[in-house]
């Protein structure tokens, strides 16, 4: 009986140890170390960031794992159990980012995983990005006002913006355009000139300057700016037409014809340009070519008054050709 009790006691102790061992495993202390993670953290300029805290929290057990990046911005986390993790990445002076990493698939062997590069923006960069976003939204609102011809409201808003963002080319350009549409050309010119200083390759600013100078009857400055716009944007038919018109009025017919023909190459169905090409040929004494372009314009015209005018013009030239 003594031996039997001893045997039973041993069985009981063995069962207790098995239960304790099972609980030990289920508690996570003896979990498999299944994942070896490595990666890098950089700033928005792709410079490595040292001392970045990376905290992983198992969503099912709330167990935490933590690692820091080295001086090269790299981190290694070896022996991570399988699970889904809430990840927080933070460093003083930078944004805090959160991710969810899913490593819920159990692994029989250690699985190496190279993580996607984590990019952190500095707080200063974030402020700049926020400002740019707000500015972009405001500029879009102002453009809508201009398109609706609500020019006075747009002007008031733009004057506030230019005081707040004195080096923003978009604000200066829209302010110049708005002042131009309000026929305040002398005020528009400094704003548009500022745009050409900030963004020298922005063709529309030169075109608008040309328009302002043309409206002020300063044809030399108008030509200078229209030509600069044409160099930067040779397919802008409206700009080319304005250039040709000024030169035609200055009796520089051959030069004017060159710009009108360029305008037609960019937009072949423009009635005004077709008519001006015809006028250039009339001036040069080539009446058949003039009729050719007027008939092209006549085929495209829809306005009754314009059709009558073109018919009369064509008839007059044909009569002169017969003589």
Name beta bridge partners: 112. Answer: 36
| 155 touches 178 (CB < 8 A) | yes
CATH 2.60.40.10 fits 35-121, yes or no: yes
Residue ranges, CATH 2.60.40.10, the chain? 35-121
Three-class SS state of 120:
strand
| 47 touches 121 (CB < 8 A) | no
Compute the distance between CA of residue 279 and CA of residue 273 in angstroms, rounded to an integer. 10
DSSP strand pairing (111-114 vs 35-43): parallel
Compute the distance between CA of residue 58 and CA of residue 22 in angstroms, rounded to an integer. 21
- Residue 218: DSSP 8-state: -
| 33 touches 81 (CB < 8 A) | yes
- The average confidence (pLDDT) of the chain is 88
According to the model, what pLDDT value does residue 128 have?
A: 64
Residue ranges, CATH 1.25.40.10, the chain? 126-322
Which residue, among 53, 51, 44, 42, has the nearest Cα to 96 in the 3D structure?
53
According to the model, what pLDDT value does residue 122 have?
A: 83
Could you identify the residue written with the tokens 């790299």?
74
According to the model, what pLDDT value does residue 1 have?
A: 44
pLDDT tens for each residue of 23-53: 444 444 445 569 999 999 999 889 999 999 9
Task: Give the residue ranges of the chain where pLDDT is below 70.
Answer: 1-33, 127-132
Three-class SS state of 323:
coil
Which residue, among 249, 309, 226, has the nearest Cα to 275 in the 3D structure?
309
Report H helices in the chain.
2-26, 123-147, 151-164, 169-181, 185-198, 203-215, 219-232, 237-249, 253-266, 271-284, 287-300, 304-322
According to the model, what pLDDT value does residue 20 have?
A: 41
| 233 touches 239 (CB < 8 A) | yes
**Centroid of chain to Cα 323:** 61
pLDDT tens for each residue of 247-262: 999 999 999 999 999 9
| 36 touches 28 (CB < 8 A) | no
- Ramachandran category for residue 26: left, alpha or beta (phi over 0 → left; psi -120 to 50 → alpha): alpha
Compute the distance between CA of residue 318 and CA of residue 82 in angstroms, rounded to an integer. 91
CATH class as words, domain 126-322: mainly alpha
């Amino acid at each position: 009986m003594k031996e039997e009790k001893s045997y039973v006691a041993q069985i009981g102790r063995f069962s207790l140890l098995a239960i304790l061992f099972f609980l030990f495993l289920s508690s996570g202390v003896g979990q498999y170390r299944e994942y070896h993670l490595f990666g890098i953290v950089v700033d928005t300029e792709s410079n490595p960031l040292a001392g970045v805290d990376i905290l992983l929290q198992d969503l099912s057990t709330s167990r935490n794992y933590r690692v820091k990046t080295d001086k090269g911005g790299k981190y290694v986390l070896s022996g991570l159990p399988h699970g889904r993790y809430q990840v927080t990445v933070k460093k003083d002076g930078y944004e805090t980012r959160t991710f969810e990493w899913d490593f819920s698939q159990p692994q029989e062997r250690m699985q190496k995983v190279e993580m996607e590069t984590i990019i952190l923006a500095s707080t200063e960069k974030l402020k700049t990005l926020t400002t740019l976003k707000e500015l972009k939204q405001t500029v879009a609102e102002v453009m809508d006002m201009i398109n609706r011809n609500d020019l006075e409201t747009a002007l008031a808003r733009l004057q506030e913006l230019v005081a707040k963002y004195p080096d923003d080319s978009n604000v200066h350009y829209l302010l110049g355009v708005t002042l131009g549409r309000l026929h305040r050309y002398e005020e528009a010119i400094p704003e548009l000139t500022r745009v050409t200083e900030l963004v020298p390759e922005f063709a529309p600013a030169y075109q608008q300057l040309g328009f302002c100078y043309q409206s002020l009857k300063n044809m030399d400055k108008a030509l200078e700016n229209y030509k600069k716009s044409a160099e930067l944007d040779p397919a802008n038919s409206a700009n080319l037409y304005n250039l040709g018109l000024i030169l035609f009025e200055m009796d520089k017919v051959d030069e004017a014809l060159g710009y009108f023909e360029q305008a037609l190459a960019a937009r072949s169905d423009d009635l005004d340009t077709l008519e001006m090409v015809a006028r250039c040929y009339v001036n040069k004494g080539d009446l058949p070519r003039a009729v050719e372009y007027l008939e092209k314009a006549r085929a495209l015209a829809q306005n009754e008054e314009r059709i009558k005018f073109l018919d009369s013009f064509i008839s007059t030239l044909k009569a002169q050709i017969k003589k």
